[in-house]
Copies of this chain bind each other. A is one copy, B any other.
Amino acid sequence: MLRRAALRVTRPRVAVLSAVHAHPHADTDAIIRAVRRELPEVSHQAVYDALRALTEAELVRRIQPSGSVARYESRVRDNHHHVVCRACGRIADVDCAVGEAPCLTASDDHGFSIDEAEVIYWGRCPDCSDTGNLRPS
A residues with CB within 8 A of B: 56, 62-64, 66-67, 70, 81, 83, 85, 92, 94-97, 103-126, 129, 137
Contact = CB atoms under 8 A, between A and B. Distances in A.
Contact of A107 (B56, B95, B105, B120): B95
Contact of A108 (B63, B95, B122): B95
A51 B115 CA distance: 32
B64 A83 contact: no
Task: Give the copy number.
Answer: 2
Contact of A64 (B62, B67, B103): B67
A109 B94 contact: yes
22 contacts: A62-B66, A81-B106, A83-B109, A83-B110, A83-B112, A94-B106, A94-B109, A94-B110, A95-B107, A95-B108, A96-B107, A97-B107, A109-B121, A111-B126, A112-B123, A112-B124, A112-B125, A112-B129, A113-B123, A114-B121, A116-B121, A118-B120
